[in-house]
Amino acid sequence: MRRLFRPRLGRYLGLLALIGTLLTVPATAASAATRMLSESFEGSSAYTWTFEGDPYCQYCGKVDDFSLWAHSGVKSAFIRTYSPVGSWFSVGKLVHLQRNNSCQARAYVKLVGTVNVEVIDPSTWTYLALGTISRGEGYQFQSLNWWGGPSDVYFRVSIVSTPDRTDAWANVDDITIDCS
């Protein structure tokens, strides 16, 4: 009777070892995403971004090195508007996508006013993805998803003055775009 018990014990111990291994190995999502853009405005790539908008607002867009306004590090992109109502300013960049079946853009935005986070087809100037942030304290996380589209997109964060907020402003930091 002793010999019959030992083979079963071996199987049960083997099964327990397998279950224990499966429970202790961390689960990770399978992902074939490729990082297309990573910008923290800390290095020289920060100066490849375009700041544009109201021509009468000379200092309404810049790479700001005031560390208290950065989400991480010491720099961020800063945009602002003044009156008249409807004036706008933005920070943007043309981004080449090597893969573009499914893409996700992420950014952190600290704002007073209303900000649009935009992914634009530069050949037709139409939105592939658009997100709007109008309230919040501290940095707000914005994530946009789109599928397909051109191999080049224009990523932009813009702010517009409104009747209730002619002095709108935003800091933008830690932008990433991943595609699979």
pLDDT value for 118: 98
- Structural domain total, the chain: 1
Q: Is residue 77 part of a domain?
A: yes
CB 36 within 8 A of CB 95: yes
Q: Is residue 117 part of a domain?
A: yes
CB 53 within 8 A of CB 77: no
Q: Is residue 20 part of a domain?
A: no
Inform me whether the pLDDT recorded for 15 exceeds 70.
Answer: no
Q: Is residue 14 part of a domain?
A: no
Strand partners, 152: 96
Q: Is residue 22 part of a domain?
A: no
In the chain, % of residues over pLDDT 90: 59
CB 170 within 8 A of CB 92: no
Domain that holds residue 44: 34-179
CA–CA dist 43, 50 (Å, integer): 15
For the residues 150-173, what does the mean pLDDT come to?
92
Q: What is the pTM of this model?
A: 0.79
Q: Is residue 126 part of a domain?
A: yes
Cα 133 → chain centroid:
13
Cα 175 → chain centroid:
4
Q: Is residue 7 part of a domain?
A: no
Average pLDDT taken over every residue of the chain? 84
Cα 31 → chain centroid:
17
pLDDT in tens, 27-67: 444 457 899 999 999 999 999 999 999 888 888 999 999 88
Q: Which of 144, 133, 81 is nearest to 109 (CA)?
A: 133
pLDDT value for 11: 53
Q: Is residue 107 part of a domain?
A: yes
In this structure, what CATH number is given to the domain that contains residue 94?
Answer: 2.60.120.260
